[in-house]
């Protein structure tokens, strides 16, 4: 047997193993979505009866009930969540990249101290400042307002850390030197040359911050109580603690399913841009 | 091109340091306004007696280190609760994190391997990230119904005669910890895969090519080229996963209804913190002290890990970095 | 000149202080704010109460998940003094298990201050629950929650040889007899109860001392100890399942295929917990009757409390009256909404009506008549602000013991730690 054939057989075997792993993992992940869809297709009474893998016929009834719920305005909630999550994602990624760039590229006094400081604040559990934060926002009269839900995204130590690490592994300083030689201002260099190079990193962090903002319950629940400002997770909690005459688990599952859709669409769009960003980058290189 | 030496001279003479400050200013303004003050309040609170009886506020009265002392006072049988919950937290994190990192690294390499050339990548990448989109509370609900005493798994195993009717998945440490670790794994391995993949794709492709031309096999390429260059991103993944692990809350909270079943063996540090914070007494003093302890612990561990891993990659990076520079020079 | 000016200012201030203290006709606000944790009462409110013209009603609904409802209510009450008139809370809802926390505080207002008088038709205990330790009443309940034993007729017939309420009641009118029937049921292959905590409320509502004494020591009433002993026996002998009160494992026992004879609950329990029994395919409507059981007790209830600082006192009075003395409204609530209302005249009429019977789930038995008798015995005694959390905590921690995953000593130790974390001021036995 020639080296070539041997290699080919080895590659074939490897591919089989790889595909097997991928299929098993995907099946596992999809299983939970299947469960959600099945549950969203069952009536409250059917759900109370127990578990099944076979979808039932109440999917559209649940959809209609959830969408038309008199006291919980789902389309409005999704719009609210979209506004908050999208603004947070954009601000977080942009300013984290900017901050990371500032620390990565420039040499200035206290640079190491600042890096150490941001690393340290990253270690503080989020729950720790939650209640102090809410009290403070009460004092500033910022309850029932989206500012405390969006603006803090500008200072996201974890995203900063990622951007910094990413720059360390992919951003060559000589590109910046070259831009300076061409007379580009520092700010312009960042916006037009560096940002496009960071596309995959930005796409990744956009997804993550979008998802975590979209699913955030604790802080928004403590800050928002006007019906027209409520976000999706607050509405789900409200549905779940509804009184018996309105309690409908089928509706809850349907709402959870609906809540995932926008996140999934965002993800699919952005995951394409990860791939595109990388291919574009390599062509340039 | 003639102007180049002159320009370069100018570049060197101009100080760009001020731009560093300008670029980091927004971060710090927002941080101080929205985060530092509440965090400072937390630390401050930890030295005070500060709680409510009903709607009546007790304190704040300065008590020095009393809140810390109380946390480290052993029970009658000698256990110190906060240490027990710390151990729980780490065990829960580690048993989920090992498969998470192994699988994520494997998948990232599979997806980026030109030789394997996996078809349907878009599909796989979307699917493995999907569990992360479900709210932790909703996911816990699903797992609970699967493993509950009237759930399908119990009924199936009963039917097969493997367990009897009195068996309860939530009565055993191993099974509850297993469920929590499994959920953390399923929810996060896709996320880690994407981060690592983005990292690998960011590496200059020509490096892989030249390594292959030099006769390196797949293992050698991975360990000599991919891994060292990926190290910064890997460090990021590891440290953030660790921080996430120490702050583990939603999954065990919802799955065990806040109790850390069985016998508090799945009760994490933040679940402990949460009871003081949103419990009936709003005991900000004790909550502040636990927060400070969690912070110190995370900080020390984070820095040890960062220094260890960072030291390693900085050594290994020097060679490829030189290589890359040289190549860029050739291109220019 | 300066002196004159000072005197003038002081005089002006004095006048204004006096003016403020003078009782002037209360001007009514245009916004009425109600805090609630779900929409149950909102439904009744919108159906039965006509809001005065020009007044906007704001419902501020916060789910009780993670304690968000009380947390936000507390913050709002603590800020009440500084809030603008239209942002002040006018009325809020509270449950039996924590009503004391608000009633005892200055954040709730004496109902007589705005001219509301409790009617003699209101159940005594609902007034007592809404009154502070000095007897000042701060609100009203729109329902009354006497609770009963709800039993499966077919199983009773098999076990006792009879399914007639009077005879079943005679067979289980004390805990000794109830235990004996449990043993009989077990022999026939049935469970007496489906949850380890099913009988908890029947015991805990009859405590003779509060959970916490005047020196803040945690104490166990004999009734609680009796419940623990009974449950130990029931679990050991297989008389009960170890499910929680709200668990699916328990509610599955309400299907026609269920093997459990007794459930414990008030009128709201039908709709809240017994959906499986009313399932058109697998349920068993008509196979149920209710009796008093071993001891009378009540469970739950929602109170409407008047918030101090409300500028809509006339409306508060109106609302309170609508849900306690407006007989047209109350009758309709019994008939159409399955409520056991807080008006003895109205419920008496139903209790004595030979044509009234419950066929939604029972066999046509007049359950209002049973509840009416039971409601006479309800007393509001030995309640503390701690009840909700202590009752819940004890059940959750002991469930692990009953399930066999820890020994009793450990379970109690976990309970004491739980209490200490929840209430800094309660003194527990050394854990």
Nearest one of A74, A40, A44, A62 to A247, comparing CA atoms: A44
How many domains is chain B built from?
1
The per-residue pLDDT for range B145-182, each reduced to its tens digit, is 889 888 888 888 988 888 887 788 998 999 999 999 99
Same domain, C131 and C37: yes
Q: How far apart are CA C331 and CA C367, in angstroms?
A: 15
Same domain, C292 and C318: no
Bridge partner list, C123:
none
* Closest CA–CA distance from residue A132 to any residue of chain B (Å): 4
Q: Looking at per-residue confidence, does B162 or C27 come out higher?
A: B162
Give how far Cα C381 sits from Cα of C211, C298, C384, Å.
11, 12, 9
Place of tokens 């009834």: A61
Question: Contacts of residue A241 in chain C, CB cutoff 8 Å?
Answer: 37-38, 63-65
Q: Is C315 within 8 Å of C388 (Cβ atoms)? A: no
State phi, psi for C298 to the nearest 5 degrees.
-130, 165
Domain spans in chain A, listed from the N-terminal domain onward = 3-59, 62-284
pLDDT exceeds 60 at position B11: no
Q: Is residue B200 a part of any domain in this protein?
A: yes
Domain that holds residue C204: 147-297+382-422
* Closest CA–CA distance from residue A18 to any residue of chain B (Å): 7
| Mean pLDDT calculated for residue range B266-294 | 88
The per-residue pLDDT for range A67-77, each reduced to its tens digit, is 887 777 888 99
Same domain, C289 and C415: yes
The per-residue pLDDT for range B93-149, each reduced to its tens digit, is 999 999 999 999 999 989 888 778 888 888 888 889 889 888 888 888 889 888 988
Q: The tokens of C242 are what?
A: 């170890």
pLDDT exceeds 80 at position A133: yes
Identity of the highest mean pLDDT range in A81-90, B271-280, C59-68: A81-90
Model pLDDT, residue B332: 29
Pairing relationship of beta strands B56-62 and C288-291 according to DSSP bridges: unpaired
Q: Taking CB atoms and an 8 Å limit, are C62 and A218 in contact across chains? A: no
Is residue C257 less than 8 Å (CB to CB) from chain B?
no
Is residue B141 less than 8 Å (CB to CB) from chain C?
no
The per-residue pLDDT for range A231-266, each reduced to its tens digit, is 988 888 777 766 555 677 888 889 888 888 888 888
Three state DSSP letters for chain C: CHHHHHHHHHHHHHHHHHHHHCCCCCCCCCEEEEEECCCHHHHHHHHHCCCCCCCEEEEEECCCHHHHHHHHHHHHHHCHHHCCHHHCCCEEEEECCCHHHHHCCCCECCHHHHCCCCCCCCCHHHHHHCECCCCCECEEECECCEEEEEEEHHHHHHHHCCCCHHHHHHHCCCHHHHHHHHHHHHHCCCECEEECCCCHHHHHCCCCCCCECCCCEECCCHHHHHHHHHHHHHHHHCCEEEECCCCHHHHHHHCCCCCECEEEEECHHHHHHCCCCCCCCCCCCCCEEEECCCCCEECCCEEEEEECCCCCHHHHHHHHHHCCCCHHHHHHHHHHHCCCECCHHHHHHHHHCCCCCCCCCECCCCHHHHHHHHHCCCCCCCCCCCHHHHHHHHHHHHHHHHCCCCCHHHHHHHHHHHHHHHCCCCECCCC
pLDDT band at B324 (very low <50, low <70, confident <90, very high): very low
Q: How far is CA C155 from the centre of its chain?
A: 30
Q: Say what percent of chain B tops pLDDT 70.
A: 89
Degrees to nearest 5, angle at CA C171 with C170 and C174: 85
The per-residue pLDDT for range C330-351, each reduced to its tens digit, is 999 888 887 899 999 999 999 9
| Mean pLDDT calculated for residue range C116-131 | 91
State phi, psi for C266 to the nearest 5 degrees.
-90, -170
Place of tokens 């270690």: A123
pLDDT band at B89 (very low <50, low <70, confident <90, very high): very high
Nearest one of C89, C51, C57 to C72, comparing CA atoms: C89
Q: Taking CB atoms and an 8 Å limit, are C68 and A237 in contact across chains? A: yes
Model pLDDT, residue A282: 40
pLDDT band at A3 (very low <50, low <70, confident <90, very high): confident
Nearest one of C150, C168, C146, C202 to C361, comparing CA atoms: C150
Model pLDDT, residue B2: 39
Provide the CATH number for the domain formed by A62-284 in this structure.
Answer: 1.10.3720.10
Q: Which residues contact A145 (CB under 8 A, 6 or more apart)?
A: A223
Q: Say what percent of chain B tops pLDDT 90.
A: 28
Q: Which residue of B280, B285, B287 is the best one to mutate when testing the C interface, meaning the one whose CB has the most C CBs within 10 A?
A: B280
The domain that holds B137 is classified in CATH as: 1.10.3720.10
Q: Taking CB atoms and an 8 Å limit, are A152 and B35 in contact across chains? A: yes
Q: The tokens of A35 are what?
A: 């469960």
Nearest one of B93, B243, B273 to B181, comparing CA atoms: B93
Q: Is residue C63 a part of any domain in this protein?
A: yes
Model pLDDT, residue A274: 63
Domain that holds residue B123: 75-331
Same domain, C409 and C312: no
pLDDT exceeds 70 at position B75: yes
Q: Is B279 within 8 Å of B40 (Cβ atoms)? A: no
Q: Is residue B144 a part of any domain in this protein?
A: yes
Model pLDDT, residue C8: 56
Q: Taking CB atoms and an 8 Å limit, are B275 and C421 in contact across chains? A: yes
Q: How far is CA C341 from the centre of its chain?
A: 13
Degrees to nearest 5, angle at CA C303 with C302 and C309: 145
Q: Is A155 within 8 Å of B35 (Cβ atoms)? A: yes
Q: Which of B:166-185 have CB within 8 Å of C?
A: 166, 168, 171-172
Same domain, C165 and C127: no
Place of tokens 């450990």: C410
Same domain, C417 and C344: no
Same domain, C270 and C125: no
Q: Taking CB atoms and an 8 Å limit, are A267 and B186 in contact across chains? A: no
The pTM score is: 0.85
Q: Say what percent of chain C tops pLDDT 70.
A: 93
A175-209 b/e with 16+ CB inside 10 Å = b?
bbeebbeeebebeebbeeebbebbbbbbbbbbbbb
Q: How far is CA B275 from the centre of its chain?
A: 22
How many domains is chain C built from?
2
Nearest one of B282, B295, B273, B294 to B48, comparing CA atoms: B282
Q: Which of C310, C336, C352 is the last residue in one of the domains? A: C352
Q: How far is CA C329 from the centre of its chain?
A: 21
Place of tokens 């729950």: A127
Pairing relationship of beta strands C297-298 and C146-152 according to DSSP bridges: antiparallel
Same domain, C137 and C153: no
Q: Is residue B327 a part of any domain in this protein?
A: yes
Nearest to B20 among A32, A108, A233 (CB): A108
pLDDT band at C26 (very low <50, low <70, confident <90, very high): low
Same domain, C170 and C291: yes
Q: Is B116 within 8 Å of A18 (Cβ atoms)? A: yes
Same domain, C338 and C274: no
Is residue C184 less than 8 Å (CB to CB) from chain A?
no
Q: Taking CB atoms and an 8 Å limit, are B275 and C406 in contact across chains? A: no
Same domain, C292 and C181: yes
Model pLDDT, residue A147: 93
The per-residue pLDDT for range C172-208, each reduced to its tens digit, is 999 999 999 999 999 999 999 999 999 999 999 899 9
Question: Contacts of residue B272 in chain C, CB cutoff 8 Å?
Answer: 421
pLDDT exceeds 80 at position B325: no
């Amino acid at each position: 047997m020639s080296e070539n054939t041997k290699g080919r057989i080895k590659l074939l075997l490897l591919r089989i193993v790889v595909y097997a792993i991928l299929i098993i993992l995907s099946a596992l992940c999809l299983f939970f979505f299947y469960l959600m869809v099945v549950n969203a297709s069952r009536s409250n009474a059917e759900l109370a009866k127990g578990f099944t893998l076979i979808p039932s016929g109440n999917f559209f009834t649940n959809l209609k009930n959830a969408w038309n719920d008199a006291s919980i305005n789902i389309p409005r909630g999704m719009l609210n969540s979209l506004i908050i999550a999208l603004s947070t994602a954009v601000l977080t990624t942009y300013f984290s990249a900017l901050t990371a760039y500032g620390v990565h590229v420039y040499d200035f006094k206290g640079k190491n101290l600042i890096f150490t400081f941001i690393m340290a604040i990253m270690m503080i559990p989020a729950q720790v400042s939650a209640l102090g934060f809410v009290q403070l926002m009460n004092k500033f009269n910022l309850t029932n307002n989206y500012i405390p839900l969006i603006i803090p995204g500008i200072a996201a130590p974890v995203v900063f850390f990622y951007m910094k690490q990413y720059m360390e592994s992919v951003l060559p300083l000589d590109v910046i030197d070259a831009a300076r030689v061409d007379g580009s201002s520092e700010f312009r260099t960042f916006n037009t040359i560096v940002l496009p190079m960071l596309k995959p990193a930005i796409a990744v962090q956009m997804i993550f911050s979008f998802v975590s903002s979209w699913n955030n319950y604790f802080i928004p629940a403590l800050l928002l109580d006007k019906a027209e400002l409520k976000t999706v997770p607050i509405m789900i909690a409200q549905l779940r603690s509804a009184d018996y005459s309105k309690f409908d688990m089928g509706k809850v599952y349907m709402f959870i399913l609906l809540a995932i859709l926008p996140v999934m669409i965002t993800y699919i769009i952005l995951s394409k841009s990860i791939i595109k960003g990388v291919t574009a980058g390599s062509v340039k290189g | 091109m003639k102007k180049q030496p002159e320009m370069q001279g100018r570049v060197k003479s101009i100080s760009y340091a001020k731009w560093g400050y300008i670029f980091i200013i927004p971060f710090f303004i927002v941080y101080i306004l929205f985060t530092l003050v509440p965090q400072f309040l937390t630390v401050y609170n930890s030295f005070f007696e500060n709680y409510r009886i009903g709607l009546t506020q007790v304190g704040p009265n300065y008590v020095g280190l009393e809140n810390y002392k109380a946390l480290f006072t052993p029970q009658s049988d000698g256990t110190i609760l906060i240490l027990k919950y710390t151990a729980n937290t780490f065990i829960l994190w580690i048993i989920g994190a090992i498969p998470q990192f192994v699988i994520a690294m494997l998948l990232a390499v599979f997806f980026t391997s030109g030789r394997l050339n996996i078809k349907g990548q878009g599909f796989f990448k979307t699917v493995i990230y999907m569990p992360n989109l479900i709210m932790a509370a909703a996911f816990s609900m699903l797992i609970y119904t699967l493993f509950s005493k009237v759930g399908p798994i119990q009924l199936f195993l009963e039917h097969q005669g493997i367990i009897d009717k009195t068996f309860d998945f939530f009565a055993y440490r191993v099974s509850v910890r297993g469920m929590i670790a499994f959920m953390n794994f399923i929810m996060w391995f896709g996320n880690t895969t994407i981060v690592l993949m983005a990292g690998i794709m960011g590496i200059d492709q020509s490096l892989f090519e030249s390594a292959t031309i030099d006769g390196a096999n797949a293992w050698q390429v991975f360990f000599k080229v991919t891994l060292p260059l990926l190290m910064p991103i890997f460090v990021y993944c590891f440290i953030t996963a660790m921080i996430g692990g120490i702050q583990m809350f939603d999954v065990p909270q919802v799955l065990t209804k806040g109790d850390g079943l069985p016998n508090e063996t799945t009760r994490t540090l933040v679940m402990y913190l949460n009871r003081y914070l949103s419990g009936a007494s709003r005991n900000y003093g004790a909550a502040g002290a636990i927060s400070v302890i969690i912070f110190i612990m995370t900080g020390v561990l984070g820095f040890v890990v960062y220094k260890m891993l960072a030291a390693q990659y900085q050594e290994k990076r020097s060679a490829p970095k030189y290589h890359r520079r040289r190549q860029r020079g050739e291109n220019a | 000149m300066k002196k004159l000016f000072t005197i003038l200012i002081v005089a002006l201030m004095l006048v204004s202080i006096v003016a403020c203290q003078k009782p002037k006709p209360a001007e009514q606000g245009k916004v009425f704010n109600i805090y609630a944790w779900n929409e149950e009462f909102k439904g009744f409110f919108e159906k039965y109460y006509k809001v005065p013209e020009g007044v906007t009603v704001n419902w501020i609904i916060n789910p009780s998940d993670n304690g968000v409802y009380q947390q936000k209510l507390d913050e709002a009450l603590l800020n009440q003094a500084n809030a603008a008139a239209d942002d002040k809370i006018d009325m809020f809802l509270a449950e039996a298990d924590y009503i004391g926390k608000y009633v005892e505080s200055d954040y709730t207002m004496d109902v007589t201050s705005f001219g509301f008088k409790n009617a003699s038709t209101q159940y005594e205990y609902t007034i007592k629950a809404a009154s502070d330790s000095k007897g000042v009443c701060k609100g009203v309940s729109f329902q009354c929650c006497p609770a009963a034993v709800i039993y499966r007729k077919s199983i009773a017939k098999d076990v006792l040889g009879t399914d007639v309420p009077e005879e079943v009641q005679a067979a289980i009118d004390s805990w000794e007899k109830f235990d004996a029937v449990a043993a009989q049921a077990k022999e026939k292959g049935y469970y007496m109860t489906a949850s380890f905590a099913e009988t908890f409320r029947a015991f805990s509502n009859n405590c003779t001392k509060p959970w916490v004494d005047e020196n803040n020591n945690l104490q166990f009433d004999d009734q609680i100890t009796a419940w623990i002993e009974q449950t130990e026996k029931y679990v050991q002998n297989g008389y009960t399942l170890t499910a929680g009160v709200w668990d699916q494992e328990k509610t599955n026992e309400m299907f026609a295929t269920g093997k459990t004879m007794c459930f414990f609950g008030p009128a709201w329990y039908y709709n809240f917990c017994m959906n499986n029994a009313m399932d058109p395919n697998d349920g068993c409507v008509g196979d149920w009757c209710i009796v008093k059981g071993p001891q009378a007790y009540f469970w739950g209830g929602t109170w409407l409390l008047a918030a101090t600082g409300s500028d809509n006192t006339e409306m508060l009075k109106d609302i309170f009256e609508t849900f306690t003395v407006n007989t047209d409204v109350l009758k309709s609530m019994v008939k159409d909404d399955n409520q056991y209302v807080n008006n003895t005249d109205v419920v008496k009429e139903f209790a004595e009506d030979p044509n009234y019977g419950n066929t939604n789930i029972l066999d046509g038995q007049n359950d209002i008549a049973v509840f009416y008798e039971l409601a006479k015995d309800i007393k509001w005694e030995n309640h503390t602000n701690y009840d909700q959390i202590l009752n819940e905590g004890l059940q959750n921690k002991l469930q692990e013991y009953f399930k066999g995953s820890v020994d009793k000593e450990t379970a109690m130790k976990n309970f004491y730690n739980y209490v200490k974390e929840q209430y800094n001021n309660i003194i527990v036995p050394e854990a």
